[in-house]
């Protein structure tokens, strides 16, 4: 099934206007014609079955036939993950996390971060593409990149489960043992050089609990996917 995205449609919408880029894709690439059915989502939990009433490379029109609602995730997962040195690794994480199930993602800059600039719009497109590919009706939120210190301050009054993963040989709880079903979770994952000792101490002062993802030492993007799947598995 080909899934299209339009954030401006709602349960009261009756007619849909596609932008020029999507209209060209619909009419020239997919060769859709008047009377054909398309599937849309607004990224806010709704699916729409629509019928094309005008198919043109300049713009396509459609009328809403059926509206269906998708149940939201039974949990809220916010991963704060340091950007990787290579952008494609971070993009891989964004795609897979969206497919598995995630609520929010925040890129965080740390003391050992090798990358200090990200391509926010490109990342958003990767998330959108993964949402459509996996046939989901909820678009994860990609927050602006922020320093770890600023992020910790923002989460100070948040009462969800606050967790941090790191590689230092200190006391840590197992992630799978500490997770609680249907509980909101914020989880910090550091850069290739790991969090600094000062950053780990600061996170703990803000209420973040150190957790372990297992015996293996994982890359940043792998650790993020392991954490994402662990939360999803606990909530099955």
Question: 135 and 65, same structural domain?
Answer: no
Total domains, the chain: 2
Report the alpha-carbon distance of residue 48 to residue 63 in Å, rounded.
10
Question: 62 and 31, same structural domain?
Answer: yes
Question: 93 and 146, same structural domain?
Answer: yes
Q: What is the pLDDT of residues 156-175, one digit of tens each?
A: 888 899 999 999 989 999 99
- Of the candidates 151, 147, 158, 130, the one whose C-alpha atom is nearest the C-alpha of residue 228 is 130
pLDDT at 40: 95
Task: Say whether pTM exceeds 0.85.
Answer: yes
Question: 88 and 194, same structural domain?
Answer: yes
Question: 126 and 39, same structural domain?
Answer: no
Q: Domain limits at 164?
A: 77-234
pLDDT at 215: 87
Question: 200 and 151, same structural domain?
Answer: yes
Question: 204 and 108, same structural domain?
Answer: yes
CATH assignment at residue 165: 3.40.1280.10
| DSSP secondary structure string for all residues of 143-198 | PPPEEHHHHHHHTTT--SEEEEE--SSS--EEHHHH--TT--EEEEE--TT---HH
Tell whether the model's pLDDT for residue 59 goes beyond 90.
Answer: no
């Amino acid at each position: 099934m080909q899934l299209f995205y339009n954030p401006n449609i709602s349960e009261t919408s009756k007619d849909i206007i596609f932008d020029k880029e999507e209209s060209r894709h619909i009419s020239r690439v997919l060769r859709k014609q008047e009377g054909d059915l398309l599937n849309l989502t607004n990224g806010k939990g709704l699916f729409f079955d629509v019928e094309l009433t005008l198919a043109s490379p300049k713009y396509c029109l459609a009328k809403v036939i059926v509206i269906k609602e998708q149940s939201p995730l039974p949990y809220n997962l916010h991963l704060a993950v340091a950007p990787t040195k290579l952008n494609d690794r971070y993009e891989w994480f964004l795609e897979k996390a969206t497919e598995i199930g995630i609520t929010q993602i925040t890129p965080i800059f740390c003391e050992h971060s090798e990358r200090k600039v990200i391509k926010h719009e490109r990342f958003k497109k990767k998330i959108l593409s993964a949402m459509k590919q996996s046939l989901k009706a909820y678009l994860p939120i990609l927050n602006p990149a922020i320093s770890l210190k600023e992020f910790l301050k923002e989460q100070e009054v948040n009462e969800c489960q606050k967790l941090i993963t790191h590689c230092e040989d200190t006391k840590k709880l197992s992630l799978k043992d500490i997770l609680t079903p249907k509980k909101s979770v914020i989880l910090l994952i550091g850069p290739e050089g790991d969090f600094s000792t000062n950053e780990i101490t600061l996170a703990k002062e803000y209420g973040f609990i150190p957790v372990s993802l297992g015996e293996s030492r994982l890359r940043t993007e792998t650790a993020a996917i392991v954490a994402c799947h662990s939360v999803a598995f606990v909530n099955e």
